[in-house]
Structures are given as structure tokens and as C-alpha cells.
Structure 1
Amino acid sequence: MILSKPKIAIVVGSKSDLQIIKGCEKILNEFNVDYDLKVLSAHRTPVETQQFAQNADKVYDLIIAGAGKAAHLPGVIASYTILPVIGLPIKSSTLDGIDSLLSIVQMPKGIPVATVAIDGAENAALLACHILTLKYPYIKELLVNYRKRMADEVLS
């Protein structure tokens, strides 16, 4: 299905993760990418998570999935869809997010999940935009301009 405008899903495992997602939302708004934000848990709402992932390709171009602690959400979602999934490890009170990072980055062969830094919501959104350039060329120019602004800020 070809969408006229990019649309992604941002899924987090808990309402407590929503504060981190603000950075992701800021970038997606800047790049004019539509998104839906959902709270689903690989452990507490497994049926709903499975149903979402199995039907996601009818609505979305890709998925950003953020989770803390055991952080199985990105991997579970990836196991039910062929859409690209970007895992966003979220720092929790235990192990400073290292547990989340390792849970996401150590996916078994055959079910890849792209992974960004702990609490790296902005980079998750930017990686999503890079992937979206394959289908929506207008985003490429926006990324070039974004990088130019970053360089100008450093040099000024």
C-alpha cells in the first residue's frame, strides 16, 4: 500500500515513557511526518500488541518502539511485522538503561531491530526519516537542510 504522506507508529511500553518520546515527536513534526502514539506492553498487553503489529503494515511505513527494563516490546513487534522497527531503549531506575539497550540490540538472527542510544528519541525519529526517504523523496531535502542548520550552529 502506498501512502500519500508518511505515517509511523510510536509505541511505548508504559505511560512513564511518554516524556522521552517528546524529542521524537518534535523531530517528526519538523519533518512533517504523521504519527500515532500508542502505549502497549509486550508483557501486560500481549494480545493487543500482537494484533497491532500484525496489522501495522496496513497503516504505517515503520514503527519506533520504546521500552525500558526488559524492553521486549521492539522485538515482539518486529516478530509480527515486516515493517522496519526502530528500538528505543529507555532508561529505567535499574541499570541506567543498559538492560533496555541489551534487550533490544541482542535480537536473534532473522528478526532485526534497528537500535538507537538509550533515551535517543531524536535519533530514532531521524533514523525513521532517513528510512522514509526511500519512499518519500521530499524528506531527503529536509534532512540535508537539518544537517546544514546543525553545522551552522556549531560553527557560529
Structure 2
Amino acid sequence: MKIASSAWTDAGFDMLTIGIHDSDPQVRQAAAESLRGYDEDRARELLVTASNDSVAQVRKGAASALRQPDDRSVATTLLRLAEDRDPSVRGIAVESLGSVGGLEALQQLVRALRVPDSFERIRAAAGLGELLDDRAVEPLAVALKDPQPAVAVRRRAHWVN
């Protein structure tokens, strides 16, 4: 389920606000995902609310929507989600950190390259590729040697593109 976000009106935003607080987790997730790219403090506040949801899919939607290029204001929330109890939430959060940038994001992404979960390592490699930071080169070289082929393949794809 996706809520259309083409026309950001106050009424539309009010609908997303209601959606974030809906009793149905699918509606909450769709509302969170629909807030992606909406660069306004009130949207970020709703995404912080969604990032604290009891349902992993809603937190995952928030982590994805918080992927805002060079927006350090979302870093704290993404760093917290990168430590979430659900591996799919952690994976999306670490990849989203790559678009945010900064030293803390880099450090979290490097840590995520060493976790047992291959999905999370794949996402960490992708996030490192987005950092455009010279300090990411060495960890990316390590990712090329990952025993899980998908991690190395994902890494190579970022170097080629």
C-alpha cells in the first residue's frame, strides 16, 4: 500500500498524520513511506514517531523514508534504528545512513560490515558506497572479500556506477 505524495497539501499531510497513528500497521507503514522526500520538520517528526513503532515493518518504512541526502538532522534516528532488534530494520537504516553522511554514519556502516546477517552487510556496503568519503575506501575493499557473494557483488556494482 502506498499513499500518493504528488500533491502536498495541508489536507494531504493531515491524512498522513492520521495514518501514522492508525491502528493498522500497514497503514502506518504506508504513511511513513509516503513521507519520504518531504523536507519539512513536521514530516521528520512523524517519521521519528514511526521509528518508535512496535511493529518492525513500520520502523523499516521510517528508516527508508528518512533517507535524505546530506540531512544530518535525521542521523540520530537512523543511528538508533541501525541498532534495532530487527535485522531488516537495521539493514535499511544502515543503507540510509550512507545518504546522510558524517563520521558517525561512517563508523556505524563499518561496524555493520562485521555483523553475522548478510542482508545487513549488503546494505552497509551499499551505504558506504553512497558516502563519497575517502575514509570509506578501505572498508569497501574489505567488503569485496566478504564470504557472502552478494555483499561483494553489491559493492562492485556501486564502484562501477
Q: Compare the two structures and name the one with the higher strand fraction.
A: 1
Q: Compare the two structures and name the one with the higher helix fraction.
A: 2
Same fold, TM-score > 0.5, yes or no: no
- Give the TM-score normalised by the residue count of structure 2: 0.33
| Higher gyration radius (CA) | 2
